[in-house]
Structures are given as structure tokens and as C-alpha cells.
Amino acid sequence: MRPSSPFEPLNKVLMKTHTPAAWGCILVLLLMPNLFAAIADPVPSQSQPNVLLILTDDQGFGDAGFQGNPHLKTPHLDALAASGVRFTDFIASPTCSPTRAALMTGRHEFRSSVTHTIEGRSLLRAGLPTMADAFKKAGYRTGIFGKWHLGETSLFHPNDRGFDHALLIGGGGVAQTPDYWGSTMFDPYLQENGEWKPFKGYMTDIFVSEAQRWIEKDKKPWFCYIPLNSPHGPHQISDEWAAPYRAMGLKEEVAKFYGMIANIDAQVGKLLESFAKKGLDRNTVVIFMGDNGSSMADFSGGLRGSKACPYQGGVRVPAVFSWKGRFPAGSTVNTLAGMYDVLPTLGEACGLDLSKFPKTDGRSLLPILLAGKQPAAWTDRTIPMHVARWPSGTTVDKLPFKSSSIRNQRYSLVNGKELYDLQADPGESKDISKENPEVSESLRTTYLDWWNGVKDDALALQPLFMGRPGQGPVELTLMDWQPSRITKEPLNGGAGCSQEVVKAWISGGKAAGVDGATGGWMMHNETAGNYELEIRQHPVGVGDDTPFSEGEATLDIGGKNFAQKIAKGDVVVRMNVEIPAGDLFFEPLISGQRPSGKPQGAYFCRIAPVAAGTKK
């Protein structure tokens, strides 16, 4: 016997009733639950929306066609902007890692102890939940394709921060020291879930095509984060992309920079076209943003400054939110908004549970996005900014206002003293602080209240972790060095984050004005025991090992000294050391390598536990 249908009583009524009025009543009864649901829920009820979040690197406010750039052609990004809501006053942090920390946590980056892109100050504090954690908890697949720049090792890697799948460059850019040695934008090596693999093609194309492949392999809802490393330098791009801008008479680096953005535009267009063909565009939130002010600033859109400065040209970025059928197409909004608004916005739009997150500094932009304009009840706010990047060890009294600003909808107070009316003077050309002392003082007081609430977290340095159960070896690079506690040698502005600089040093030459460097890592060891150190001039497994000169490697841990002689021609220095549990500063020094006679630090170091009973 066939099972009875839940609609069987209705079927009997329909068989006996044929009048239009009866049919109309029945139709209303059937639709009533959906009508009430639509009224109760500000977002139309449907399956969980997918989320595509694209963040480009160093693409500032004026670096897109839809932002009025007279040279740059970005037809696909222009179409995306026309399909949704474009913010004209969207604030990022002044540099890479800080913006990413604010985006992932919904809080100002200082609360997560992220104040730089190097020196161990780009590490997103262990234990803090991330946007990816929230999506994963809600049943989403989570993937990242591009530049993470919030830590490379255990507890900081994206696979430890909520991402199921991670395809990455190392560090903050191609050919930085954590990146694959000798890699370029062409046919690069990329790290896939912790393993370096060769890929064919141009890096931006690879990230987007691999993201598309990952999206299409499963029907579950997904959160796809594509933080491209382009157009950040090195400006490597095929001539077909740069040539049109070179023909306009633009400088070579500008032509390459614009060519990289034009390539991004084409890849975004390709991805969104695939969504349309497969019907994914109907239930996907698409967000496109820059991560800080332009590094090139050929066209600033009338704003003052560029990347890594507190003026609007350093922090205002392109920002587009599109959701077909939900966010009104062609909307332009002038409301002040920022990076840490993205998490609460997606939390509300996607039904994410953020109850375990620390209190956000942001607010949900969903009411603006659904209306395509600022609601009447929307209140003004302030957004503080600080370039940070202070030299490690700087005393707190020198930090509060240097390279800082604080915004509300109308005014910006820069460095604690310069006041600009952004409505009358968007280019910040006329300081009006003397004419408006009450406005200056109000913003200054608000800024100091904020600073006093975040300074302890901002100055807290994060250790790298080792000895965790099942962790395996730790790969350390000089990009995460803290300044030497033995030689007191300064880190020279992060020169050691560049592979080219290190290559010059290990070849006996000078770069960045010096012939080498020293430094060490803040570590937290969870398991006391015997560990083997491998120290090299560059990472293991990349061929053409550069040998050491004759010398000696030394290490002091908790007052216990370890030493290992180095023979000329050795390509690896191995040391067997006892490392106690707890916090320690890990600073191997190597003699006999620098022409100046100064000691050299361990540029690349691998630490692995020695199994019990193993003889070394």
C-alpha cells in the first residue's frame, strides 16, 4: 500500500471544490507561513548563503575603474560594483597583517597583538576565534587561497585557525624569507595544507582557479577567502597586461602595477561568470576589498597619502558587497565603515554563532546593505587608526599619537593635533584645529580612551609554539625574529624579510647597509626534552645549499651553554640540546661568517624533538 500523502486531505477538498474563490483561499493558506517568515526575518529565508571574500594587496582607494581611475580598466570589478553596494568611506588598517587581523576577528588589530608585518608582531594571538572558525561551526566548508600573513607555524597557520583547506604563499609577499626559496609569480611553489608543491601558471590565476575547483567539488555551503598577494610587489606580470599602460606613457612600475590589477579583474570576472553558469550567483555573498592604501598611488582619488600612513590615502580602500536579489544593485553609500564590521555583518547575514567571540569593535552593516542606503536610525561612530610598525622596544610614552588618526563621519584628527573636515576638504590639505578646538579635543580624548584600553595588548609579544603533542618539527625564519638580546644589534627595518637581502649576506656581501644580522625567537615549549636543531643559510630542500665558513654555533638556554664547531663547507649545523618547558628566548649565534667579524644569527632553523632512546 502506498503511503498516504500529507496533502491528501487537501486533495479531497480540491476534488469537491472548483470555484476560483476556494482556490484563492487555499493558495493564501499555503503561502501564509512563508509570508510571515519573510516579515520576521530581515534576510529572505533560504539555505545558508555561500560567501566569497576577495581581499587584494596594496590596491588602494583609487586603484579601480569604478573608483574613477582615468587609466585603469577593470570592467569586471566595475560590473561587480554596479551589482551591489559600494562604500566610498571604508577604512582598513594602514598595512597588511593588521588589516587581516581586524578582518578575521572583528576587532581592532591591536587587541590581537598584531602591530607589524614582521618581527613576530604579525602573529594573530593563539586561541582567538576567527571568521573561519565561525563558518566552520555553522557547517560551512572553509578555504583560503592566497596570502594569510598572520603566522606560519603551529597554532598560527590557517589550518589551525578554522580553514579546512589552505593554499598559500609564505610570509607577506613573493620571495620573502618564509616563502618558497627562489619562487616567483610565474610557475610558483605554493604551500597546500602545510606541504610545498609546484604549480604551473601565473600565481593570481592559480589561486583563483584552485579556489573555483575547491568550490565546485562539494554541494555544502562554503566560505571562500581569497586574499590575493597581488598587486603587492614584486611587480611581476606578463607584458600583455602591462603593455597597455606602458603605451599610455605611465612609468614602468605603474604599468606593471596596473597590469597586475587588470589581471585580477579578469580572474574575478572568470570566477563570477562560472557562478552565473552554475547558478551559484543566486545565493552567494560576494565581497571585494583592498587591504590598505595604495603602494603606488598613481591616482589617489583625491586623497592624501598612500600605504602605511595615517591620512585617508593610507587607509581608505575600495569596498563592494554584492548579493543578487538581496542587496540593491547600483547603490553607493557614504557611511563610515571598516574592516572589523565584516565579521558581524556576515554573522548576521549567515546566522553565525559569534557568542564565543570577544566583544567586537565593529557593527553589522546588514541594515545598510539590505536598504542600499544608511538607515535614519544609524548613529555616528569613531574609528581609530595607528600605523604602528614602531621599532621593537620603543617605550610606550612615545607611541600614542605618532602616525595615528581617529575618524568620525565628518572629521579626522591626525597625529593628535591636525584636524581636517573631510566633507569640505577630502584631500586633508587644510588643518582647522585652531578654528575648532572643541572638535579636536573631543576626538583626542576619545582616542586616548581607546589607546589606554588597547596598549597592553598592542605591546604584548606572542611566542611561537613548540613541543605540542603531535606537532613535529618547527620551521623558523628570521622574519619572525625579535631584536637580539645578546648583541643588541637592531633589526634594520625588517631587511631580513627579503630573500634577496639574505642571499647577499650569505654570499659575503652587503645589503640594506649591513653584512648580516642577529636576532632570536620568542618561544613557548610545552614539552621539556631533547631537541635537535638544524641551522642553515637558507631553507632545507631547495638545492644549491650555501655552505658556512669555519666558525662555531653557540646557544644559551636558561644559563646552560651549548656549542657546535662548524667546518668550512658545512651546509647544515646540527646541535643536540636540552630545552626546558615554558617560555624562552631562542637565539643561536654563529661566528666566522660576516666580513665585519660580527656574529651572525640563525637565519633558518628547524627544531625537532629527539625520540626517547635515540642516540645523537
CB 340 within 8 A of CB 110: no
Residue pLDDT, tens place only, 68-79: 999 999 999 999
* Whether residue 442 sits in one domain with residue 334: no
Q: Which domain holds residue 496?
A: 464-609
Q: CB neighbours (10 Å) of residue 235?
A: 21
Beta strands 141-146 and 165-168 are parallel
Residue 240 maps to a domain = yes
pLDDT at 313: 98
Q: Judge if 445 and 470 occupy the same domain.
A: no
Measured in residues, the chain has a length of 616
pLDDT in tens, 337-363: 999 999 999 999 999 999 999 999 999
Last-in-domain residue among 360, 376, 392 = 376
pLDDT given for residue 43 in this prediction: 43
The count of other CB atoms within 10 Å of the CB of residue 528 is 12
Q: Clarify whether residues 95 and 205 are in a common domain.
A: yes
Which of the listed residues 397, 427, 459 is the one where a domain comes to its end? Answer: 459
Based on the domain organization, do 97 and 158 belong to the same domain? yes
**CATH number, domain with residue 401:** 3.30.1120
**3 state SS for 191-254:** EECCEEEECCCEHHHHHHHHHHHHHHCCCCCEEEEEECCCCCCCCCCCHHHHHHHHCCCCCHHH
- 3-class secondary-structure state, position 613: coil
Instruction: Report pLDDT digits (tens) over 74-116.
Output: 999 999 999 999 999 999 999 999 999 999 999 999 999 999 9
Q: What is the pLDDT of residue 612?
A: 58
How far is the C-alpha of 355 from the C-alpha of 370, rounded, in Å?
A: 24
Asked if residue 35 belongs to a domain, the reply is no
d(CA 298, CA 326): 35
How far apart are alpha carbons 615 and 575 in whole angstroms?
13
372 to each of 54, 364, 366, how far by Cα in Å?
21, 14, 9
> How high is the pLDDT of residue 398?
82
Any domain includes 602: yes
Task: Select from 324, 350, 376 the last residue of a domain.
Answer: 376
Residue 509, pLDDT score: 95
| CATH code (residue 257) | 3.40.720.10
Distance CA 260, CA 258 (A): 5
Instruction: Please check whether residue 195 lies inside any domain of the structure.
Output: yes
Pairing mode, if any, of strands 600-601 and 284-290?
A: unpaired
Do 241 and 370 lie in one domain? The reply is: yes
Domain identity same for 365 and 408: no
pLDDT along the chain (616 residues), means of 10: 34 39 40 39 61 98 98 98 98 98 98 96 97 98 98 97 98 95 96 97 98 96 98 97 98 98 98 97 97 96 97 98 98 98 98 96 98 97 96 85 97 98 98 98 98 96 95 94 94 84 94 94 96 92 82 92 95 95 96 97 96 54
Do the Cβ atoms of 289 and 317 come closer than 8 Å? yes
Asked whether residue 184 is domain-assigned, the answer is yes
Residues 316 and 226 in one domain: yes
Whether residues 488 and 366 share a domain: the answer is no
9 in any annotated domain: no
| 383-386 long-range contacts, CB within 8 A, separation 24+ | 383/91, 383/336, 383/338, 383/407, 383/408, 384/108, 384/446, 384/447, 384/450, 384/451, 385/91, 385/93, 385/94, 385/310, 385/315, 386/94, 386/110, 386/310
Query: Nearest CA to 93 among 413, 317, 305?
Result: 317
Dihedral over alpha carbons 161, 165, 170, 175 (to 10 degrees): -160
User: Do 104 and 155 lie in a common domain?
Assistant: yes
The answer to whether 525 touches 564, Cβ cutoff 8 Å, is: no
**Same domain for 246 and 343?**
yes
pLDDT at 559: 83
CATH number of the domain that 491 lies in? Answer: 2.60.120
Please report how the helices 252-278 and 239-246 are oriented relative to each other, as an axis angle in degrees rounded to 10. Answer: 120
Residue 14 lies in a domain: no
399: nearest Cα among 352, 447, 469: 447
In a domain, 116, yes or no: yes
Cis peptide before 384 (omega within 30 of 0): no
Stretch (H or E) spanning 189:
strand 189-192
Task: For residue 288, give the H/E element and its range.
Answer: strand 284-290
pLDDT of residue 39: 35
Shared domain for 530 and 586, answered yes or no, is: yes
Q: Are residues 453 and 548 in the same domain?
A: no
Omega before 158 cis (within 30°)? no
Q: How many domains does the chain have?
A: 3
Nearest in space to 474 (alpha carbons), one of 209, 172, 50, 154? 154
Query: How many CA atoms, within 13 angstroms, populate the side-chain half-sphere of residue 513?
Result: 6
Q: Which amino acid is at 225?
A: Y
